[in-house]
Amino acid sequence: MDPARCLPVENPTVPFWHRDIHELHDYRTTEDLPASSDVVIIGAGYAGISTAYHLVKEEAGDSKTKLSVTILEARGVCSGATGRNGGHLRPDMYSPMPKFIDRAGIERAVEVSEFEVAHIKAIKSLVEREKIDCDFTLTRSIDVWCNEEDALKAKEKYDMLVSHNLEYIKDVFFVLGKDAEGISGVKGTRACASFTAATLWPYKLILHLTKSILETGMVNLQTHTPVKAVTRQTSGGFIISTARGATFARKVVYANNAYVSGLLPQYSQAIVPCKGFCTHISVQGGTRPPLLNNSYIVRDTDGVVSYLIPRADGSIVVGGANLKYRPFLKQWYNNVDDSILIDEVKDYYDGYMQRTFHGWEDSGAKVDKSWTGVMGYSWDSLPHVGALPGEDDQYVLAGFNGHGMPVVFLSALGVAKMVRDGVAFEDIGVPRLFQTTRERLEKVKNGPAGGDIIVKDA
């Protein structure tokens, strides 16, 4: 994609989560951009707001330095992928593990899973500490396989991980065969696995954090301010040019995820904007269906994958189905237009609960909201976190795929430690496989177009 076109569009589809728009959604701390700041963060999604949170709320370390931080956001706060996702905070403990083990060995692969698992506790304690009203629910997530062959392969993966005697895998309960359907409640289940996960209202979480960081007086938020270019000054620091004028910063953090190549063309093959699809289903007028107490990943007999969370009011957020639109590259791949739904699946979730879950046949469950969002799909399925290769004072955290909720918050803590206290990547507590390196960027150039992106399933 031409970098100049890699910017959020102005009229995106409206997600369920934006039902009640927060007073800070379109906020600007000052009428004009500040002349200068210690740190400019580009993007006010989960990554940008979490980085600011760690920078100004002391979690990054012992440093008592008071930094000035400016956040520049192209649209409103949390209007990118974070504001349009499935609300599922679910560590992926086994699906990608064989691939990561092959690439880097068991020790590095396990770092990724443990990091994801650690997010459950980290977000739970954040929500409790900050008293965040965001429907946070600690739950069991059930992975379901309806295809016999996929079920057997999943069991093989699980057994392989068990054989390594990993601590975190002890939380996974795997069932293959006749009892799986009764446990999952999904018609035709051949195998299922449950483990600890969480669900939440992402927009409420991010807007609460936004309020909290603005209250420190250290953060200047500028919404509807797309960044056009970042230019290093020979005397040090950077001029950040926006649609509303320029500002100066000593350090820059790129937290603009899917759109990162718009400002950093060296990432154009490593992180590609790809659209995803999600819906909200409510129950209207039929017989009351069973309340779901778990979140889900459902893989149907054809291998179509859906992520699903129940809400306490009985409604459902469900999305995915990318196997259905994968062949139609133009509709989703290298595409930042979240103003239009993905044609191929726009009706896919009509009747989904009735055809998928026992007891929902006469529920009258109906899709009442559909939306799309743009994810930063990374070529090797791993995010890019850390200092820009070969550059001082510029940092990135992007490429979180369709799986940012159990990955971003502690990555942002790590980046904040680098920015504020100059801590080396090796010491920030982020998996080594996430480090953005020249080697990873080079590998993309020499590898097949699309890399893992084209084959990814959720």
Provide the binding-site residues for ligand FAD, judged by CB under 6 A.
Answer: 7-8, 42-48, 72-75, 79-82, 84-88, 226-227, 255-259, 262-263, 276-278, 307, 319, 373, 375, 398, 400, 402-406, 408
CB of 361 to ligand FAD, least distance (A): 26
CB of 163 to ligand FAD, least distance (A): 28
- Please provide residue 223's backbone torsions phi and psi, each rounded to the nearest 5 degrees: -85, 170
Which residue, among 401, 413, 297, 380, has the nearest Cα to 56 in the 3D structure?
413
Are the C-beta atoms of 240 and 228 separated by less than 8 Å? Answer: no
Q: Which is nearer to ligand FAD, 96 or 155 (CB)?
A: 96
CB of 287 to ligand FAD, least distance (A): 29
Cβ neighbours, 10 Å, residue 340: 15
Q: Which is nearer to ligand FAD, 318 or 387 (CB)?
A: 318
- In the numeric block, which tokens belong to residue 220? 């200047």
CB of 69 to ligand FAD, least distance (A): 15
Q: Which is nearer to ligand FAD, 37 or 256 (CB)?
A: 256
Beta bridge partners of 69: 39, 219
DSSP-derived secondary structure for 150-166: HHHHHHHHHHHHHHTT-
- In the numeric block, which tokens belong to residue 328? 């139609």
Taking CA 195 as the corner, what is the angle to CA 190 and CA 199, rounded to the nearest 5 degrees? 110
- In the numeric block, which tokens belong to residue 289? 């269906």
Are the C-beta atoms of 223 and 28 separated by less than 8 Å? Answer: yes
CB of 3 to ligand FAD, least distance (A): 10
Q: Which is nearer to ligand FAD, 136 or 181 (CB)?
A: 136
How many CA atoms within 13 Å lie on the side-chain side of 33?
24
Which residue, among 272, 309, 317, 291, has the nearest Cα to 18 in the 3D structure?
317
CB of 91 to ligand FAD, least distance (A): 9
Cβ neighbours, 10 Å, residue 272: 26
Q: Which is nearer to ligand FAD, 96 or 319 (CB)?
A: 319
CB of 178 to ligand FAD, least distance (A): 30
Q: Which is nearer to ligand FAD, 127 or 175 (CB)?
A: 127
CA-to-CA separations, 279 to 21, 75, 141, 200, 330, in angstroms, rounded = 18, 22, 19, 15, 21
Which residue, among 225, 247, 251, has the nearest Cα to 236 in the 3D structure?
251
Q: Which is nearer to ligand FAD, 81 or 109 (CB)?
A: 81
Query: Terminus-to-terminus CA distance in the chain, angstroms?
Result: 23
Q: Which is nearer to ligand FAD, 175 or 412 (CB)?
A: 412
CB of 181 to ligand FAD, least distance (A): 24
CA dihedral 69, 72, 76, 79 (to 10 degrees): -100
DSSP-derived secondary structure for 346-395: TTTTTTHHHHHBTT-TTS-EEEEEEEEEEEEEETTSS-EEEEPTT-SSEE
CB of 445 to ligand FAD, least distance (A): 23
Q: Which is nearer to ligand FAD, 45 or 96 (CB)?
A: 45
